[in-house]
A = this chain, B = another copy of it.
Amino acid sequence: MSYLETVAGIGENEALKRTIARLNSSEHALVGPGDDSAVISAPDGRFVVTTDTLIEGHDFRLDWSSAYDLGWKAVASNLADVAAMGAVPTALVVALTVPGNTQVSWLENFADGLKAACLALAPGCGVVGGDLASSDQVMISVAAHGSLEGREPVLRSGAQVGDVLAVAGTLGRAAAGLALLQSGNRDAISAYDDLVNVQRRPKPPIRAGVEAVLAGATSMLDLSDGLARDAARIAKASQVTLQIDPMQLQGFEAVLEEAARAIEANPADWVIGGGEDHSLLATFPSGSALPRSFKPIGVVLPAGPAPVLLGVQPVPERGWDSSRAAAS
């Protein structure tokens, strides 16, 4: 490869230009990339904003995820945070740091992943600005924006005693995919590549966020750290206890059983403790018709000693904390 094909070779500005040129534009951008700031439409006079970062060695490994995968995942994880407010994603800004010897083709594949995720998960949403800088580690920081379209945001704090607890999307698949990759068992990785691919390119149910708010959801969040830990966040914010029905998790576990057997793991751990599927957890008033994207998994009880119960058992707040993981 020639020197000219690396980021250091062509310079950050040129590399950024070539990357941005591959992206789809946001339908909501009044001024797109290329000036000091972008200008985005916010028709109801408000916008939602969130930020999430992926770090090489902590959130991903370059030998397990392609540049395309990482672009996709950075978009998906941020869009899920927008959807969890009941909002429609409109615009992203992406800060990327890479070593200077990174091939420009890597950046192009990353851009293709950003674009593909926008088109697949939130059509109309696009990247409206970016920053490219040199570092020792690959780091991807995205800020995502959305429109509430005149509706009120769905917060974590609105769950009411008697509500139904429900989930849209998969549970435990990304964790299963990670465990497969960590096992190093090539046969299992190949046999269950559908799970590995959820880890690499999660497909959060973005539209389900709006469906939830239209159905009267009282609280909602994005399951990024696992059902146990994220359910506890709703419970604490709403000052209630969430009781999950273990019977309702059996379907989620069943699809993971074969893969779990192949690497001697417990599928229930993945379902209750695994994050990164970026599914949506929400509560709905008792008796309301749930959107078809949501499956009931429990009920909201008055606050007890444990924020989350699995049946009658308190659920430890398991989940993933990359900082603790790094320190351990």
Say yes or no: is A8 at the interface (Cβ < 8 Å to chain B).
yes
Which of B15, B45, B59, B82 interacts with A42 by CB under 8 Å? B45
Say yes or no: is A94 at the interface (Cβ < 8 Å to chain B).
yes
Say yes or no: is A323 at the interface (Cβ < 8 Å to chain B).
yes
Q: How many residues of A contact B (CB 8 A)?
A: 78
The answer to whether B39 touches A46 (Cβ under 8 A) is yes
Interface-central residue, A94, A139, A323, A324, by most chain B CB under 10 Å: A323
The answer to whether A36 touches B95 (Cβ under 8 A) is no
Given the interface pairs A37-B50, A48-B37, A321-B11, the reply to whether A55 lies near B97 with Cβ below 8 Å is yes
Which of B11, B45, B52, B58 interacts with A134 by CB under 8 Å? B58
Interface string of A124-162 (1 = CB under 8 A from B): 000011111111110101011110100001011100000
**Shortest CB distance A219–B (Å):** 10
Which of B8, B35, B49, B130 interacts with A37 by CB under 8 Å? B49
Given the interface pairs A53-B97, A222-B36, the reply to whether A134 lies near B85 with Cβ below 8 Å is no
The answer to whether B55 touches A48 (Cβ under 8 A) is no
The answer to whether A136 touches B136 (Cβ under 8 A) is yes
Which of B46, B97, B129, B326 interacts with A139 by CB under 8 Å? B97
Say yes or no: is A327 at the interface (Cβ < 8 Å to chain B).
yes
Which of B42, B137, B146 interacts with A135 by CB under 8 Å? B137
**Shortest CB distance A319–B (Å):** 9
The answer to whether A38 touches B50 (Cβ under 8 A) is yes
Say yes or no: is A40 at the interface (Cβ < 8 Å to chain B).
yes
Which of chain B's residues has its CB closest to A12's CB? B323
Say yes or no: is A51 at the interface (Cβ < 8 Å to chain B).
yes
Given the interface pairs A31-B155, A36-B81, A131-B141, the reply to whether A49 lies near B91 with Cβ below 8 Å is yes
Contacts of A228 in B (CB 8 A): none
Q: How many copies does the complex hold?
A: 2
Which of chain B's residues has its CB closest to A44's CB? B45
* Bound form: Cα–Cα A321–B91 in Å: 27
Say yes or no: is A30 at the interface (Cβ < 8 Å to chain B).
yes
Say yes or no: is A304 at the interface (Cβ < 8 Å to chain B).
no
The answer to whether B53 touches A133 (Cβ under 8 A) is yes
Contacts of A30 in B (CB 8 A): 46, 153
Which of chain B's residues has its CB closest to A155's CB? B35
Contacts of A50 in B (CB 8 A): 36-38, 93, 129
Say yes or no: is A84 at the interface (Cβ < 8 Å to chain B).
yes
Contacts of A322 in B (CB 8 A): 12, 133-134
Contacts of A97 in B (CB 8 A): 53, 55, 139
The answer to whether A128 touches B11 (Cβ under 8 A) is no
The answer to whether B135 touches A55 (Cβ under 8 A) is yes
**Shortest CB distance A141–B (Å):** 4
User: Can you pick out 5 interface pairs between chain A and chain B where the beta carbons lie within 8 Å of each other?
Assistant: A8-B323, A36-B84, A37-B84, A39-B153, A136-B136
List 7 A-B pairs, minimum CB-CB distance, nearest first.
A8-B327, A143-B143, A42-B42, A37-B50, A141-B141, A36-B84, A37-B48
